A = this chain, B = another copy of it.
Amino acid sequence: MELEVVLERVRERVVPDETERAELAAVVDDLRSRAERAISDLPVEADVLLVGSTARGTWISGERDVDLFVRFPPDLSREKLERYGREVGYSVLPEGHEEFAEHPYVKGEYRGFDVDCVPCFAVESAGDIRTAVDRTPFHNAYLVDRIEPLSDDVRLAKAFLDAIGAYGSNLRTRGFSGFLTELLVDEYGGFTNLLEAAADWITPVELDPRSHGRTSFDDPLVVIDPTDPERNVAAVCSETNVARLQHYSRAFLAEPTESMFEPWHPDPLSASDVRQRIETRETTPVALRFPTPDVVDDQLYPQLDKSLSSIERTLDRAGFDPIRSTRFADETAVLLVECGIAERPAIERHEGPPVGVRDHAENFLDAYESTDVTGPFIESDRYVVEKERNHRTPAAHLEDVLSDISLGPAVRTAVESNVDMLVDSELASLTDEFGSHLARYFNPRP
């Protein structure tokens, strides 16, 4: 199908109609009035600012998120900001609850919309920010007019990135944030232009919309914040997600289809599917399963990732040749490493010092003289012994070293409370909770 025909069909789905726009406008007016009334009861001045995709007309049809910022004078104390912010928040959203980013804000539902009511400081310029959220109004101001003619292209880009699993700057996904997506669409002048550019990217790629960057970054994609020359808006975006955008840009341009705007939901694997995959691969998967730590996702996933890479490293150093690994979390969390080696021999080589280093050499000989090892013998210039290996399988090794390896603190606590180790076909017991995750693992796509 022709590119333009496909995009037109996708637009029909992602661009909101007049009714939806009107409904949003009414809700925003209402929220704004409620916030202003609440402010008038406070002993300080403040104003209300709509930010995010609803402010810029770049939300995808059906999304019902409203971000309302309440700006307080920059000389207010942090404590007062939090207190007043909370008061305004609960006035606007009486059924709301508090959440924490850098400081607390109120989140709640209002007339079917998910509303965040966030207090910030009304600083003079982006260089003066006191908290991270103070930057958001400047982002908004930079984009609001320039993105207006490209708003539907932004919607296409967001839908595309979402479908390929690369949308969202949370630390589980490490993808493209909404702000980053808008900057890229603006920079390249449209959705199709962005895909054409991404298809040809040779990383690292550096964009600097205001040509004011003065720091270098070690990231695959660098987009200098138009409001802060020392910040990379794409800092959180992983190499994999950058490569994924490149891959799917090429694929879509080569053969445009509507289906590439639809997220992939593979059929969950059954227990017998999993057993069959492991039998075919003849690998040795080892998984730890424990209750998911009760922390927010932006803490959970970095800790799972760190723990997983510790485990993978330790299995690699012990010679079990990890082939691939992954982590899932729902009620329980799973760290899975698929090893290439099921069993190592009863002995292992242990290289001693060079014979020429007399002190060390003599200590080594003394240490092994009356022990039950093969050797010491000499190879090249060193003593070598072959001694009994402590553990022959990945599971036995992992079990032994688990208490010594570096896990995230919340993961450590959860593992110490309750952990199961699953080996080989025991992975089949994960399918009730993680059948879809396992489908993605065993049938991965770019």
Footprint of B on A, CB under 8 Å? Answer: 199-203, 220, 239-240, 242-244, 246-247, 250, 280-284, 319, 321, 323-324, 340-349, 354-358, 361-362, 374-383, 386, 392, 442-446
**A341: B residues at CB distance < 8 A:** 341, 344
Q: Which partner residue on chain B sits nearest A355 by CB separation?
A: B243
In the bound complex, do residue B444 and residue A377 qualify as a contact, i.e. CB atoms below 8 Å apart? yes
**A348: B residues at CB distance < 8 A:** 340
**A376: B residues at CB distance < 8 A:** 446
Closest CB of chain B to A120's CB: distance in Å? 36
In the bound complex, do residue A347 and residue B362 qualify as a contact, i.e. CB atoms below 8 Å apart? no
**A375: B residues at CB distance < 8 A:** 444-445
**A240: B residues at CB distance < 8 A:** 378-381
Bound: A442/B386 CA distance, A: 10
Of B281, B381, B383, which contacts A220 at CB under 8 A? B381
Bound: A321/B348 CA distance, A: 11
With A323-B347, A374-B444 given, name 19 new contacts (CB 8 A). A201-B356, A203-B354, A240-B379, A243-B355, A243-B381, A244-B378, A246-B355, A247-B355, A250-B362, A281-B386, A283-B345, A283-B346, A283-B347, A284-B345, A323-B349, A323-B386, A324-B349, A340-B345, A376-B446
Bound: A348/B357 CA distance, A: 41
Find the residue from A321, A378, A445, A446 having the highest chain B CB count within 10 A: A378
In the bound complex, do residue A243 and residue B444 qualify as a contact, i.e. CB atoms below 8 Å apart? no
**A280: B residues at CB distance < 8 A:** 346
Bound: A118/B199 CA distance, A: 76
Q: Which partner residue on chain B sits nearest A277 by CB separation?
A: B374
Where chain A touches its partner, the secondary structure class is mixed
**A319: B residues at CB distance < 8 A:** 321, 340
Bound: A244/B349 CA distance, A: 19
Known: A323-B386, A355-B246. A381 touches B344 (CB 8 A): no
Q: Which partner residue on chain B sits nearest A319 by CB separation?
A: B321
Bound: A247/B239 CA distance, A: 53
Bound: A213/B341 CA distance, A: 52
**A324: B residues at CB distance < 8 A:** 349, 386
Bound: A250/B357 CA distance, A: 12
Bound: A344/B344 CA distance, A: 11
Bound: A382/B342 CA distance, A: 27
Q: Which 6 pairs, one residue from A and one from B, show the smallest C-beta to C-beta distance?
A: A377-B444, A243-B355, A282-B346, A283-B345, A282-B345, A239-B381
In the bound complex, do residue B378 and residue A247 qualify as a contact, i.e. CB atoms below 8 Å apart? yes
**A382: B residues at CB distance < 8 A:** 243
**A203: B residues at CB distance < 8 A:** 354, 356, 381
28 pairs, A vs B, C-beta closer than 8 Å = A199-B358, A202-B356, A203-B354, A203-B356, A239-B380, A239-B381, A240-B378, A240-B379, A240-B380, A242-B381, A243-B381, A247-B355, A281-B347, A283-B345, A283-B346, A284-B345, A319-B321, A323-B386, A324-B386, A341-B344, A342-B345, A374-B442, A374-B444, A375-B444, A377-B445, A377-B446, A378-B446, A383-B446
Closest CB of chain B to A250's CB: distance in Å? 7
Q: Which partner residue on chain B sits nearest A377 by CB separation?
A: B444
Find the residue from A202, A247, A345 having the highest chain B CB count within 10 A: A345
Known: A378-B243, A381-B243. A358 touches B281 (CB 8 A): no
Bound: A176/B246 CA distance, A: 63
In the bound complex, do residue B444 and residue A202 qualify as a contact, i.e. CB atoms below 8 Å apart? no
Closest CB of chain B to A101's CB: distance in Å? 29
**A358: B residues at CB distance < 8 A:** 199-200, 250
